[in-house]
Amino acid sequence: MVDTIIHEIGHFNHRNTSSNYKKMLKLQEIMNCGIRDFSIFIKFLTGKKSRKLIKKEISPYATSSAAEFVACTFSAIIRGKKLSPEIYNLYKIYEGPFADLFIKQNKFNVLQ
């Protein structure tokens, strides 16, 4: 139950800090919002190497969309899970809430 609440707080923070949040949802959700720009969705789903890493380090569910990746990663960070610099880099790319703070705390040199 606590994991679910943290995950949903991740969505809430992401929605309130990213102007691109709706473009990071699952395809049907994007279409339901009336958005016709699928570029972020396509970029996320076609990144096979990064999706394999996400599946391994975060969860298979986190590979379903950029928004789910961010929420699942936010939850993992809050729970203290050790993550690779590559995951933090993806979290920053997909505008994860507090990304710069989390990266600084872990002393990673993440690419822009």
Task: Tell me what percent of the residues of the chain surpass a pLDDT of 90.
Answer: 76
Residue-by-residue DSSP string for 65-80: -HHHHHHHHHHHHHTT
On average, the pLDDT of the chain sits at 90
Confidence of residue 100 (pLDDT cuts 50, 70, 90): confident
Going from N- to C-terminal start, the domains of the chain cover: 2-105
112 vs 37: which has the higher pLDDT: 37
**What pLDDT does 101 receive?**
74
**What pLDDT does 49 receive?**
92
Contacts of 29 (CB under 8 A, 6+ apart): 22, 65
Tens-digit pLDDT profile for residues 46-87: 999 999 999 999 999 999 999 999 999 999 998 889 899 999
